[in-house]
Amino acid sequence: EVQLVESGGGLVQPGGSLRLSCAASGFTFSSHWMNWVRQAPGKGLEWVANIKTDGSQTYSVDSVKGRFTISRDNAKNSLYLQMNSLRAEDTAVYYCARGGRYCSGDTCRLYFDYWGQGTLVTVSS
Amino acid sequence: DIQMTQSPSSLSASVGDTVTITCRASQSISSYLNWYQQKPGKVPNLLIYGASNLQSGVPSRFSGSESGTDFTLTISSLQPEDFATYYCQQSYSAPLTFGGGTKVEIK
């Protein structure tokens, strides 16, 4: 059974830092792109960042570039999100999501086929 | 960035109705469009990937289609457990973007 368990959320002051972790089990972690998706209270879903299977490529939304860093440790089946210079607008539930692949011809793209339960990050003074 | 515009933002429907939700991409995304369902307080659940491929375990009353940059999620014979918020999401290019969501409520 695929399981994704996030941890590391909490209350932090503006300008502070947090490191989120996602422990994966039940599948070959090193074979999947992994993602962070967030949802502000009462709002919609926002993709934050993703990372290739071997960690060699990462992508992120502009609003977190230079502040958030996604990484992974395939030996530990773990995904991370280092969040620095946190702002009030970063307040959200952060989900870890596995990337499934859909291929059309030679081109493949992702979908989010398994999600963790999420961890709440609150940025407030 | 590719903008995903979902409509309507909310709708009311009765059990047994057929419901259609539309998502329009701001540019061509080929078939790289996914649909998710989220119930209150719950984690999003993948319904459709690649515009029209039903995820394993998802009831066949859910279907997806595309016409150019317009994508449609259809729920045939709406069931009580289908009342939820639905999101489209493009995976054609980063940043991966979601639509604003469509809340399906009970009439």
Please tell me the predicted confidence (pLDDT) of residue B107: 87
- What is the β-pairing status of strands A18-25 and A78-83? antiparallel
What average pLDDT is seen over chain A?
A: 97
pLDDT tens-digit readout, A91-109: 999 999 999 998 888 888 9
Please, are residues A20 and A6 in contact by the beta-carbon 8 Å criterion?
A: yes
**Lowest-pLDDT range, A64-73, A95-104, A113-122?**
A95-104
Please tell me the predicted confidence (pLDDT) of residue A104: 83
Q: For residues B106 and B74, give the distance between their C-alpha atoms in angstroms, rounded to a whole number.
A: 16
Identify from A62, A70, A112 which residue to disrupt to test chain B contact, counting B C-beta atoms within 10 A and taking the largest count: A112
Instruction: Using pLDDT thresholds of 50, 70 and 90, give the confidence band for residue A23.
Output: very high
Put simply, whether A57 touches B (Cβ < 8 Å) is no
Please tell me the predicted confidence (pLDDT) of residue A42: 96
Which residues of chain B have a pLDDT value below 50?
Answer: none
Please tell me the predicted confidence (pLDDT) of residue B91: 97
Q: Which residue has the higher pLDDT, A68 or A107?
A: A68
CA distance to partner chain B, nearest, from residue A43 (Å): 8
In chain A, residues with a C-beta closer than 8 Å to the C-beta of B100 are 44
Residues of B near A (CB-CB distance < 8 A)?
1, 30-32, 34, 36, 38, 43-46, 49-50, 53, 55, 87, 89, 91-92, 94-101
Average pLDDT estimate for A79-84: 98
Chain centroid to CA A29: 14
pLDDT tens-digit readout, A30-54: 999 999 999 999 999 999 999 999 9
Residue A64's CB: how many other CB atoms inside 10 A? 22
Please tell me the predicted confidence (pLDDT) of residue A105: 84
Q: Is the pLDDT of residue A73 over 90?
A: yes
